[in-house]
Structure 1
């Protein structure tokens, strides 16, 4: 009865919102002009914590964005909005904002237990979102929670049954460099020349993988590294803007060489299992070349960013869910999972990160020379 009442009242409020925004067709019945409102359908799921709202596309030259849908939804928030494939309905995916989606872990073993419920090539984001490995852009101002978001993803990699070959580039020589050196000094760089050499090493490993996987593709053309159980390689590039600022002072030959190394991984890495993760405060074209940004399939913007930040990350004309984002919370896009920006909330880690790495170290087998050619 509770949700039947909520359903009824919500539809009434939505109909009023359509009337107030003049979102209707005019019809004449028995010499009387009436407003013909769009058909509305509301479908709940996940024990009424989520729902899909279907609003008929009545083909007016009026933007449905003018309708204040959020006002009619009370504590429910619009997560994504899109036009159905047959273009008959606008679909709004909504969720109950009173339900906390953030995962909280008191120990590394709690995180490991949760992570083990997914396959070895999938990472948890929050209670309802998990994503496969992709080239990734992570944007967020200082204090937005992007560093701890990285920690939660890296620690998950360390708990998987397959070895993750992680490379760390940190031109500011900050906390990520400390973590990287704890895991693998030879795969960690802070000086710009060392970072370029690390990129070269990463590309060399990718070229070696290309030769190995070619044999396997003869049995399954459209397969990827995961189908053949190859180890993933992740190059985490923190404070990329700082690196770019120094790189721009170098000669053109050096700049072109670095862009070629980055582009090769971004464009060829998905099938081979080689991924670049770029972390920065803003993703302006002056700091991150457009061709790189557009070819990173997964994009996160954490915290309450400026409109221009969302535009450069996701493109112009993309609707961002309206919400005051808390620490570690923001929006993201990802193939299949979220074609338009969707709200996410990274895990809360209530334990010492370096101590957790020390506890996992006896179980780790990836701190090896990447040129060893291990599969």
Structure 2
């Protein structure tokens, strides 16, 4: 479990904070008593000579007052100071709190056995759990036994992990099995995974979404980003588009509501790649599809000689279609009369979009869809089933959760009551994880940000 030594969780750890508190007070009492040692000797000598005075109680009263004051200070430090700070003592006290909580959960949920003999009741079995706390990254790593004992099935089915998530307000990120054990990683401080917008940089075949969360677009092709206004959906899309512009110049942006992304047409390098008018949007989708089919023919011609592979193996560049406010586009066009000329181009565009979603991976043509409230009526199944990275900003309603994370079994809870820009993400078949949208500087300028990313790509000769 790494260089940091893990803590073995014990039955008595459920009283760990109280035990350490008592020990600290006893130690201070002993220290004060020794400091007042000469005073006590003088009082004892006076008592032996028959001298009595209420003042002789002064060191005892003073010791009690000082110990009480220190006890109050330790309690305040533990409850109020440590949770908000990250110095050495605060980290130690947070670890104590987590060890105590894990032990309490084992006991309260009955993941242990007791027995009786002539000497009384004793612990017959207590699972060997190990806890490692990574304060720097806001993670805790829990090693659970898969050892053939009575509770092995409960641990392996993540029953205890689900309890930990609820009790600690933590987010389970990964679960790995190895010989006789299962190792689960939780984020108990998700804000530490937030990164600055300009820190996010693309690497070969992947984009950075958050700290420790990457989008490998060749593997987990096509994206859905959902969320209401003000949840951080736009900033998440900005971060992805900015990185895409470092990867390729073939990034096409659609914004039917003519919002922030539509304004990118005023960036000279993007003026021919941004579409916001209905007729332009339909034609943009059709043109994107036409380019994809032209590439399909080129790759097919290459494979005639017996070569195998995908677009990357043949030196082709990926294309990306970013389609924001897809729900609004669907609703606006769905209301058109059947004899409206725009209706025909819309139907063609939707048909093409379905084929792009299904065929685009092998050819290097990907789509990224943004919408506020995805549902079966506005997001066709043929497209929805091909979206392999799904993000929802904020806590989704049950209906949206069923649409975005249909196989999710974990309870999605608010990550923060005072911070914005948090949500949940699922990549491929992985479990749903929490994350924060990138932090945007106060003086952020969208056009300048996009130009900076384009300049980086051009400097690399792409």
Shorter-chain TM-score category? 0.7 to 0.9
Matches of 2:327 and 2:406 in 1, distance apart? 19
The Cα of 1:227 is off from its aligned counterpart by: 3.9
Matches of 2:405 and 2:250 in 1, distance apart? 29
Alignment partner for residue 233 of structure 1, among 315, 319, 323? 319
Secondary structure, counterpart of 1:100 in structure 2: helix
Matches of 1:345 and 1:63 in 2, distance apart? 25
8 Å Cα contact 1:39-1:55 kept in structure 2: yes
Q: Does residue 1:293 correspond to 2:384, yes or no?
A: yes
The Cα of 1:143 is off from its aligned counterpart by: 0.2
Corresponding pairs, count: 349
What is the alpha-carbon root mean square deviation over aligned residues?
3.7
**CA 1:28–1:141: 2 relative to 1, 3 Å:** same
Alignment partner for residue 92 of structure 1, among 184, 194, 218? 184
Relative to the length of structure 2, the TM-score reads: 0.65
Matches of 1:33 and 1:255 in 2, distance apart? 73
8 Å Cα contact 2:172-2:185 kept in structure 1: yes
Q: Does residue 1:345 correspond to 2:436, yes or no?
A: yes
Query: In the alignment, what sits opposite 1:370?
Result: none
After alignment, is 251-260 or 240-249 more displaced? 251-260
Query: In the alignment, what sits opposite 2:232?
Result: 145
Secondary structure, counterpart of 1:296 in structure 2: coil
Q: Does residue 1:206 correspond to 2:292, yes or no?
A: yes
Matches within 5 A, 1:359-374: none
8 Å Cα contact 1:173-1:190 kept in structure 2: yes
The structure with the largest alpha-carbon Rg is 2
Secondary structure, counterpart of 1:144 in structure 2: coil
**CA 1:225–1:27: 2 relative to 1, 3 Å:** farther
User: 1:286-336, CA deviations, whole angstroms, 9 ceiling, x for partnerless residues?
Assistant: 22123321210010111233233222101054314533353332111113x
Matches of 2:262 and 2:137 in 1, distance apart? 44
Query: In the alignment, what sits opposite 2:355?
Result: 264
Query: In the alignment, what sits opposite 2:260?
Result: 175
**CA 1:363–1:339: 2 relative to 1, 3 Å:** closer
Query: In the alignment, what sits opposite 1:16?
Result: 104
Query: In the alignment, what sits opposite 1:101?
Result: 193
Q: Does residue 1:68 correspond to 2:163, yes or no?
A: yes
Q: Does residue 1:123 correspond to 2:207, yes or no?
A: yes
Unaligned runs of 5+ in 2: 8-91, 146-150
Query: In the alignment, what sits opposite 1:166?
Result: 251
Q: Does residue 1:59 correspond to 2:153, yes or no?
A: yes
The Cα of 1:37 is off from its aligned counterpart by: 4.5
Query: In the alignment, what sits opposite 1:157?
Result: 244
8 Å Cα contact 2:139-2:189 kept in structure 1: no
Query: In the alignment, what sits opposite 1:302?
Result: 393
Matches of 2:240 and 2:141 in 1, distance apart? 29
**CA 1:260–1:97: 2 relative to 1, 3 Å:** same
Secondary structure, counterpart of 2:423 in structure 1: strand
**CA 1:277–1:77: 2 relative to 1, 3 Å:** same
Unaligned runs of 5+ in 1: 366-374
Matches within 5 A, 1:314-325: 314-325=405-416
The Cα of 1:261 is off from its aligned counterpart by: 1.0
Q: Does residue 1:79 correspond to 2:146, yes or no?
A: no
User: 1:180-227, CA deviations, whole angstroms, 9 ceiling, x for partnerless residues?
Assistant: 452433332223232111111000110111122335556763x43334
**CA 1:65–1:220: 2 relative to 1, 3 Å:** farther
**CA 1:98–1:139: 2 relative to 1, 3 Å:** closer
Relative to the length of structure 1, the TM-score reads: 0.78
Matches of 1:22 and 1:242 in 2, distance apart? 51
Query: In the alignment, what sits opposite 1:328?
Result: 421
Secondary structure, counterpart of 2:431 in structure 1: strand
The Cα of 1:253 is off from its aligned counterpart by: 6.6
**CA 1:245–1:65: 2 relative to 1, 3 Å:** farther
**CA 1:249–1:47: 2 relative to 1, 3 Å:** closer
**CA 1:355–1:89: 2 relative to 1, 3 Å:** same
